[in-house]
């Protein structure tokens, strides 16, 4: 069974818990306790595979820890970054998170394969609370541009009103993560045969040129 680890990040009150709970239970619950973090588990059958999905939904974090993200980068295979389309400051927060995830990693995070070409983490940027479009502060194009510029997927939706769209959004990021697993597998030489090939490539070439 494949383990898939997904972190749902974003500014305070953007609807991280609402989206996660909507996906897991199909229900929208108006208020959530926001002073503790949760890791939810769900078994899924997708693309012919049994998956053990874990979703990390953090509590609103203290200001100083906002952009460190070190443990999340290490833990997660992919990220859903949420902002509230009716709150510009939440978009600025989401932007900083995207930049943090996409900046080159020096430690051993999952988006970084040190020996071989890196496979970037899957990231989906979500403009939530689309039902509040009459008080919109962030344009659809702005979200789309931020996503495009940083190799992320993008969608706008409403956790409050759209059950199917929320489900499709999670399935989309999980599929991207599975694609990344396949890419990483392809790029990793496995076993002694591949190691021999690698040694031969490095030393074999040198011998020829002497
Ligand atoms: N109108 C509207 N309200 C929403 C939507 N999603 C969430 N909310 C409301 O926004 C508020 C915050 O939602 P949460 O899911 O607790 O947000 P959160 O990001 O988990 O919050 P923190 O953990 O405190 O950072 C709640 O009052 C929700 O009912 C939505 O799609 N539309």
Q: Distance between CA atoms of 52 and 105, rounded to whole angstroms? A: 26
191 CA → ligand 1 middle, Å: 48
Burial 128-150 (b: 16+ CB within 10 A, else e): bbbeeeeebebeeebbbebbeeb
| Spacing, Cα 30 to ligand 1 middle (Å) | 7
Distance 129 CA to ligand 1 centre (A): 8
What residue has token string 């597998």? 185
Q: Which atom of ligand 1 is nearest to the CA of 30?
A: 29
- Comparing CA positions, the residue from 15, 105, 34 lying closest to residue 68 is 105
Q: What residues line ligand 1, using a CB cutoff of 6 Å?
A: 10, 12-18, 30-32, 34, 59-60, 128-129, 131-132, 158-160
Kindly write down the DSSP assignment for every residue of the chain, as one continuous string: -EEEEEEEEESTTSSHHHHHHHHHHS---S----SS-EEEEEEEEETTEEEEEEEEEPPPPPGGGTTT-HHHHHH-SEEEEEEETT-HHHHHHHHHHHHHHHSPP-S--TT--SSS---PPEEEEEEE-GGGGGG--S-HHHHHHHHHHTT-EEEE--TTT-HHHHHHHHHHHHHHHHHHHHHHHHHS--HHHHHHHHHIIIIIHHHHH-
Length of the chain (residues): 210
Q: How confident is the model at residue 73 (pLDDT cuts 50, 70, 90)?
A: confident
3-state DSSP assignment of residue 105: coil
This prediction's pTM: 0.84
Ligand 1 mutation pick, 16, 17, 18, max ligand atoms within 8 A of CB: 18
Least confident among 4-18, 67-81, 91-105, 161-175: 67-81
Q: Tokens for 207?
A: 């011998």
Between the two ends of the chain, the Cα-to-Cα distance in Å is 49
Higher pLDDT, 62 or 95: 95
Yes or no: say if 104 and 149 are a contact pair by the CB < 8 Å rule.
no
Calculate how far, in angstroms, residue 9's C-alpha sits from the geometric centre of ligand 1.
Answer: 13
State how far the Cα of 28 lies from the Cα of 23, in Å rounded to an integer: 9
Question: What confidence tens digit (pLDDT) does each residue in 112-168 have?
Answer: 544 445 789 999 999 999 999 999 999 999 999 999 999 999 999 999 999 999 999
For ligand 1, the distance from its centroid to the CA atom of residue 208, given in whole angstroms, is: 64
What does the pLDDT look like over 23-46, one tens digit per residue? 999 999 877 766 677 899 999 999
State the distance from the centre of ligand 1 to the C-alpha of 34, rounded, in angstroms.
Answer: 10
Pocket test for ligand 1, best of 32, 37, 134 (most atoms within 8 A of CB): 32
- Give the atom of ligand 1 at the shortest distance from the alpha carbon of 21: 15
Distance 42 CA to ligand 1 centre (A): 22
ipTM of the complex, rounded to two decimals: 0.99
């Amino acid at each position: 069974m494949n383990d898939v680890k997904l972190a749902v990040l974003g500014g305070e009150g953007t609807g991280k818990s609402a989206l996660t709970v909507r996906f897991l239970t199909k229900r929208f619950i108006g208020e959530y306790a926001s002073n503790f973090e949760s890791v939810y588990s769900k078994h899924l059958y997708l693309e012919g595979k049994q998956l053990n999905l874990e979703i990390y939904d953090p509590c609103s974090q203290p200001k100083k820890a906002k952009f460190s993200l070190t443990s999340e980068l290490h833990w997660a295979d992919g990220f859903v970054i949420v902002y509230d389309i009716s709150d510009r400051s939440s978009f600025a927060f989401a932007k900083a998170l995207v930049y943090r995830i996409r900046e080159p990693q020096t430690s051993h995070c999952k988006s970084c394969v040190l020996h071989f070409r890196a496979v970037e983490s899957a990231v989906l940027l979500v403009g939530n609370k689309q039902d509040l479009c009459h008080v919109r502060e962030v344009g659809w194009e702005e979200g789309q541009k931020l996503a495009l510029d940083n190799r992320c997927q993008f969608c706008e939706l409403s956790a409050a009103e759209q059950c199917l769209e929320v489900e499709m959004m999670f399935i989309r990021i999980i599929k991207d993560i599975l694609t990344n697993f396949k890419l990483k597998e392809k790029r990793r030489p496995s076993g002694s045969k591949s190691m021999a090939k690698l040694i031969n490539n490095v030393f074999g070439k040198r011998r020829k040129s002497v």
